[in-house]
Structure 1
Amino acid sequence: MSVADESGRARQMREKAQEMQKAAERVQDPQERQRLQDKARRLEEQSKRESDLGSSAGIDPM
């Protein structure tokens, strides 16, 4: 997978996380709200990890 693919995937995950967070704000059920917030947080963390991996792929450690 290329760096561009990885950064695109990370961006898509961040967008999905934002959508879930917005959906959580609209949900009346507290359990469903918590589930959506947790899933959004996990996606955001995963996108950050993938973004970090993609950005360090081109760095020469010496």
Structure 2
Amino acid sequence: MSVSGESRGRSQQMRAKAQELNEAADRSQDPEERQRLRDKARRLQEQSQQENRMDDRGMDPM
């Protein structure tokens, strides 16, 4: 797999994990845990978007 393909796959995995975290937050009864999960999901989504932008420009994030 190319570097671009690997990066795209990693971004997709991050988005999937972020979705899982948001769903777990929806199920959580504890407000602090819910917020922690949502914050972690948001960070993963932002990181995924950043990697996509770099990949689209042909830049290596490392």
TM-score (norm 2): 0.89
Aligned-pair identity in percent equals 52
32-41 or 48-57: which moved more? 48-57
* Amino acid across the alignment from 1:14: R
Which is greater in Rg? 1
What's the counterpart of residue 3 of structure 2?
2
Per-residue CA deviation, residues 12-44 of structure 1 (Å, 9 max, x unaligned), is: 000000000000000000000000000000000
Structure 1 unaligned runs (5+)? none
SS in 2 for 1:14: helix
Number of aligned positions between the proteins: 58
Alpha-carbon deviation of 1:55? 1.1
SS in 2 for 1:43: helix
Structure 2 unaligned runs (5+)? none
2:39 is equivalent to residue 38 of structure 1: yes
TM-score (norm 1): 0.89
Runs of 4+ in 1 over 3 A off after TM superposition: none
